[in-house]
Amino acid sequence: MSSQGRPPNYPPPPPSPYPPGSPQGRRFTNRHIAVAAALILAVLLVLTVVALVVGLAALNRDVEAVSSAAPASDSVGTDALQDGAVTADKLAGGAVTADALADGAVTGAKVAQDSLTGASIDESTLEQVPSAKSAKNAAKLGGQAASRYLSALTLVQAQTGSSTDEVKGPVTASCPAGTIVIAGGASLDGTTSGIALVESAPAEGQAGWTARAQAFEPTTTDWRIVVTAICATGGS
Protein backbone atom coordinates (compact mmCIF):
# COMPACT_ATOMS: atom_id res chain seq x y z
CA MET A 1 0.00 0.00 0.00
CA SER A 2 1.07 3.64 -0.51
CA SER A 3 1.89 6.05 2.32
CA GLN A 4 -1.72 7.34 2.12
CA GLY A 5 -3.07 3.84 3.03
CA ARG A 6 -4.35 3.11 -0.52
CA PRO A 7 -3.32 0.22 -2.72
CA PRO A 8 -0.57 1.16 -5.20
CA ASN A 9 -1.57 2.20 -8.71
CA TYR A 10 -0.87 -0.50 -11.22
CA PRO A 11 -0.29 0.26 -14.94
CA PRO A 12 -3.40 -0.03 -17.04
CA PRO A 13 -3.95 -3.33 -18.74
CA PRO A 14 -2.38 -3.75 -22.19
CA PRO A 15 -4.65 -3.15 -25.11
CA SER A 16 -6.70 -6.15 -26.08
CA PRO A 17 -5.60 -7.81 -29.32
CA TYR A 18 -9.23 -8.62 -29.89
CA PRO A 19 -11.89 -6.33 -31.35
CA PRO A 20 -13.74 -4.31 -28.67
CA GLY A 21 -16.93 -5.96 -27.55
CA SER A 22 -15.96 -9.33 -28.94
CA PRO A 23 -16.20 -12.38 -26.65
CA GLN A 24 -12.43 -12.84 -26.84
CA GLY A 25 -11.87 -9.19 -25.83
CA ARG A 26 -14.17 -9.45 -22.82
CA ARG A 27 -12.44 -12.64 -21.63
CA PHE A 28 -9.06 -10.97 -21.99
CA THR A 29 -10.17 -7.94 -19.96
CA ASN A 30 -11.80 -10.07 -17.24
CA ARG A 31 -8.70 -12.21 -16.91
CA HIS A 32 -6.50 -9.16 -16.49
CA ILE A 33 -8.84 -7.75 -13.79
CA ALA A 34 -8.80 -11.10 -11.87
CA VAL A 35 -5.00 -11.14 -11.86
CA ALA A 36 -4.88 -7.55 -10.56
CA ALA A 37 -7.44 -8.36 -7.82
CA ALA A 38 -5.42 -11.42 -6.75
CA LEU A 39 -2.28 -9.30 -6.45
CA ILE A 40 -4.12 -6.74 -4.28
CA LEU A 41 -5.52 -9.46 -1.99
CA ALA A 42 -2.04 -10.99 -1.61
CA VAL A 43 -0.62 -7.62 -0.59
CA LEU A 44 -3.46 -7.11 1.96
CA LEU A 45 -2.86 -10.61 3.39
CA VAL A 46 0.85 -9.91 3.85
CA LEU A 47 0.09 -6.62 5.60
CA THR A 48 -2.44 -8.36 7.88
CA VAL A 49 0.09 -11.00 8.91
CA VAL A 50 2.68 -8.32 9.63
CA ALA A 51 0.17 -6.42 11.77
CA LEU A 52 -0.69 -9.62 13.68
CA VAL A 53 2.97 -10.36 14.41
CA VAL A 54 3.52 -6.81 15.66
CA GLY A 55 0.41 -7.07 17.87
CA LEU A 56 1.57 -10.36 19.39
CA ALA A 57 4.99 -8.91 20.14
CA ALA A 58 3.38 -5.94 21.87
CA LEU A 59 1.08 -8.24 23.87
CA ASN A 60 4.01 -10.36 25.04
CA ARG A 61 5.84 -7.22 26.15
CA ASP A 62 2.77 -6.08 28.12
CA VAL A 63 2.44 -9.50 29.81
CA GLU A 64 6.08 -9.38 30.88
CA ALA A 65 5.59 -5.89 32.25
CA VAL A 66 2.56 -6.95 34.28
CA SER A 67 4.38 -10.04 35.56
CA SER A 68 7.37 -8.03 36.72
CA ALA A 69 5.06 -5.55 38.46
CA ALA A 70 3.16 -8.30 40.37
CA PRO A 71 3.96 -8.51 44.12
CA ALA A 72 6.54 -11.11 45.12
CA SER A 73 5.73 -13.99 47.45
CA ASP A 74 5.25 -12.86 51.08
CA SER A 75 5.37 -9.21 49.97
CA VAL A 76 1.81 -8.41 51.11
CA GLY A 77 1.82 -7.51 54.79
CA THR A 78 -1.12 -7.39 57.16
CA ASP A 79 -1.27 -3.59 56.83
CA ALA A 80 -2.17 -4.03 53.15
CA LEU A 81 -5.20 -6.21 53.93
CA GLN A 82 -8.64 -4.87 54.70
CA ASP A 83 -10.42 -6.06 57.82
CA GLY A 84 -12.32 -9.26 57.05
CA ALA A 85 -10.60 -9.70 53.66
CA VAL A 86 -8.99 -13.01 54.66
CA THR A 87 -11.66 -15.54 55.68
CA ALA A 88 -11.32 -19.14 56.89
CA ASP A 89 -12.06 -20.62 53.46
CA LYS A 90 -9.05 -18.72 52.02
CA LEU A 91 -6.56 -20.30 54.44
CA ALA A 92 -4.82 -23.62 53.88
CA GLY A 93 -5.13 -26.24 56.60
CA GLY A 94 -2.53 -25.67 59.32
CA ALA A 95 -1.46 -22.33 57.80
CA VAL A 96 -2.21 -20.42 61.00
CA THR A 97 -0.22 -21.67 64.01
CA ALA A 98 -0.27 -20.53 67.62
CA ASP A 99 2.76 -18.29 67.01
CA ALA A 100 0.75 -16.35 64.41
CA LEU A 101 -2.03 -15.47 66.87
CA ALA A 102 -1.92 -12.48 69.17
CA ASP A 103 -2.62 -13.04 72.86
CA GLY A 104 -6.36 -12.92 73.44
CA ALA A 105 -7.16 -13.00 69.71
CA VAL A 106 -9.09 -16.26 69.96
CA THR A 107 -12.05 -15.94 72.32
CA GLY A 108 -14.63 -18.52 73.34
CA ALA A 109 -17.06 -17.23 70.72
CA LYS A 110 -14.51 -18.05 67.98
CA VAL A 111 -13.96 -21.66 69.06
CA ALA A 112 -16.21 -24.35 67.57
CA GLN A 113 -18.13 -26.47 70.04
CA ASP A 114 -16.28 -29.62 71.15
CA SER A 115 -13.18 -28.64 69.13
CA LEU A 116 -10.96 -28.47 72.23
CA THR A 117 -9.93 -31.58 74.15
CA GLY A 118 -8.15 -31.94 77.48
CA ALA A 119 -4.82 -32.19 75.69
CA SER A 120 -5.47 -28.75 74.13
CA ILE A 121 -5.81 -26.98 77.48
CA ASP A 122 -3.10 -26.04 79.98
CA GLU A 123 -4.88 -26.77 83.27
CA SER A 124 -2.57 -24.44 85.20
CA THR A 125 -4.06 -21.49 83.29
CA LEU A 126 -7.62 -22.24 84.40
CA GLU A 127 -9.14 -20.15 87.16
CA GLN A 128 -11.61 -21.35 89.74
CA VAL A 129 -15.18 -21.58 88.46
CA PRO A 130 -17.28 -19.13 90.54
CA SER A 131 -20.13 -21.61 90.92
CA ALA A 132 -17.73 -24.29 92.17
CA LYS A 133 -16.10 -22.50 95.10
CA SER A 134 -17.28 -25.28 97.39
CA ALA A 135 -15.14 -27.71 95.34
CA LYS A 136 -12.15 -26.26 97.18
CA ASN A 137 -13.46 -28.19 100.20
CA ALA A 138 -13.77 -31.46 98.23
CA ALA A 139 -11.64 -33.25 100.86
CA LYS A 140 -14.42 -32.73 103.39
CA LEU A 141 -17.87 -34.25 103.84
CA GLY A 142 -20.51 -32.45 105.85
CA GLY A 143 -17.90 -29.90 106.85
CA GLN A 144 -15.64 -32.61 108.31
CA ALA A 145 -12.12 -33.41 107.21
CA ALA A 146 -11.62 -36.71 105.41
CA SER A 147 -9.34 -37.88 108.23
CA ARG A 148 -12.36 -37.90 110.57
CA TYR A 149 -13.84 -40.84 108.67
CA LEU A 150 -12.70 -44.41 109.15
CA SER A 151 -11.11 -46.45 106.40
CA ALA A 152 -8.88 -49.48 105.87
CA LEU A 153 -10.65 -51.66 108.46
CA THR A 154 -8.49 -54.54 109.75
CA LEU A 155 -9.29 -57.44 112.13
CA VAL A 156 -6.50 -58.82 114.33
CA GLN A 157 -6.53 -61.55 117.00
CA ALA A 158 -4.31 -62.78 119.80
CA GLN A 159 -4.70 -65.71 122.21
CA THR A 160 -3.13 -67.40 125.17
CA GLY A 161 -2.02 -70.98 125.28
CA SER A 162 -4.47 -73.65 126.45
CA SER A 163 -3.88 -74.90 130.01
CA THR A 164 -5.52 -75.29 133.41
CA ASP A 165 -3.85 -72.21 134.83
CA GLU A 166 -5.99 -70.16 137.16
CA VAL A 167 -5.20 -66.76 135.55
CA LYS A 168 -4.74 -66.00 131.84
CA GLY A 169 -3.57 -62.66 130.52
CA PRO A 170 -3.48 -59.87 130.11
CA VAL A 171 -3.14 -60.61 126.38
CA THR A 172 -3.38 -57.87 123.72
CA ALA A 173 -4.41 -58.00 120.05
CA SER A 174 -2.27 -55.15 118.68
CA CYS A 175 -3.36 -52.97 115.73
CA PRO A 176 -1.05 -52.53 112.74
CA ALA A 177 1.10 -49.41 112.68
CA GLY A 178 -0.79 -46.30 111.64
CA THR A 179 -4.17 -47.64 112.75
CA ILE A 180 -6.19 -47.42 115.96
CA VAL A 181 -8.63 -49.79 117.59
CA ILE A 182 -12.28 -48.90 117.11
CA ALA A 183 -13.86 -52.04 118.63
CA GLY A 184 -12.88 -55.33 120.17
CA GLY A 185 -13.69 -58.12 122.58
CA ALA A 186 -12.57 -61.38 124.13
CA SER A 187 -13.91 -64.90 124.47
CA LEU A 188 -13.09 -68.04 126.44
CA ASP A 189 -12.23 -71.20 124.56
CA GLY A 190 -12.50 -74.54 126.35
CA THR A 191 -14.24 -74.98 129.73
CA THR A 192 -16.15 -71.93 130.97
CA SER A 193 -17.41 -73.32 134.25
CA GLY A 194 -16.06 -71.21 137.13
CA ILE A 195 -14.03 -68.97 134.75
CA ALA A 196 -14.80 -65.33 133.94
CA LEU A 197 -13.31 -62.38 132.05
CA VAL A 198 -12.09 -59.82 134.51
CA GLU A 199 -10.81 -57.33 131.91
CA SER A 200 -11.72 -56.58 128.31
CA ALA A 201 -10.98 -53.05 127.05
CA PRO A 202 -8.97 -50.98 124.53
CA ALA A 203 -5.25 -51.05 125.11
CA GLU A 204 -3.41 -47.90 126.14
CA GLY A 205 -3.34 -45.33 123.33
CA GLN A 206 -5.94 -47.30 121.35
CA ALA A 207 -3.12 -49.49 120.11
CA GLY A 208 -5.23 -52.66 120.33
CA TRP A 209 -7.55 -54.64 122.62
CA THR A 210 -6.56 -56.22 125.95
CA ALA A 211 -8.28 -58.95 127.97
CA ARG A 212 -7.65 -61.02 131.15
CA ALA A 213 -9.55 -63.96 132.68
CA GLN A 214 -9.46 -65.87 135.96
CA ALA A 215 -10.75 -69.26 137.19
CA PHE A 216 -12.61 -69.00 140.52
CA GLU A 217 -12.86 -72.77 140.89
CA PRO A 218 -10.25 -75.43 140.33
CA THR A 219 -10.50 -76.93 136.83
CA THR A 220 -8.98 -79.94 135.19
CA THR A 221 -9.92 -78.86 131.63
CA ASP A 222 -7.61 -76.72 129.47
CA TRP A 223 -8.89 -73.28 128.56
CA ARG A 224 -7.64 -70.11 126.88
CA ILE A 225 -8.54 -66.47 126.01
CA VAL A 226 -9.07 -65.33 122.39
CA VAL A 227 -8.85 -61.52 121.97
CA THR A 228 -10.14 -59.73 118.85
CA ALA A 229 -9.44 -56.11 117.82
CA ILE A 230 -10.98 -54.19 114.91
CA CYS A 231 -8.58 -51.51 113.72
CA ALA A 232 -8.84 -48.69 111.17
CA THR A 233 -7.25 -45.48 109.98
CA GLY A 234 -8.88 -42.09 110.48
CA GLY A 235 -11.31 -41.16 113.20
CA SER A 236 -9.05 -38.45 114.56
Digit-coded pLDDT (tens) for 124-147: 777 766 666 555 555 567 777 777
d(CA 104, CA 9): 84
Confidence of residue 118 (pLDDT cuts 50, 70, 90): confident
Choose the weakest-confidence range: 66-80, 99-113, 178-192: 66-80
Sign of the C-alpha dihedral computed for residues 49, 53, 58 and 60 taken in this order: positive
| Residues 200, 208 contacting (CB under 8 angstroms) | no
d(CA 233, CA 223): 33
Mean pLDDT of the chain: 80
Other beta carbons within 10 angstroms of residue 175's beta carbon come to 25
Confidence of residue 165 (pLDDT cuts 50, 70, 90): very high
Percent of the chain topping pLDDT 90: 29
Other beta carbons within 10 angstroms of residue 149's beta carbon come to 14
pLDDT at 2: 47
Select the more confidently predicted residue: 231 or 90.
Answer: 231
Residues shown for the chain: 236
The maximal CA–CA distance of the chain, rounded, in angstroms, is 185
Long-range contacts of 190-193 (CB under 8 A, 24+ apart): 190/162, 190/221, 190/222, 190/223, 190/224, 191/219, 191/221, 191/222, 191/223, 192/223, 193/217, 193/219
| 219 has a pLDDT exceeding 50 | yes
| Residues 176, 231 contacting (CB under 8 angstroms) | yes
Digit-coded pLDDT (tens) for 37-81: 887 888 888 888 888 888 888 888 877 777 666 666 666 667 777
Choose the weakest-confidence range: 6-20, 49-63, 80-94, 141-155: 6-20
Sign of the C-alpha dihedral computed for residues 88, 92, 94 and 100 taken in this order: negative
d(CA 152, CA 203): 20
What's the pTM value of the predicted model, to 2 decimals? 0.43
pLDDT at 84: 74
Average pLDDT over residues 30-37: 76
- φ, ψ at 19 (rounded to 5°): -60, 140
Select the more confidently predicted residue: 133 or 175.
Answer: 175
Digit-coded pLDDT (tens) for 186-217: 999 987 788 999 999 999 999 999 999 999 98
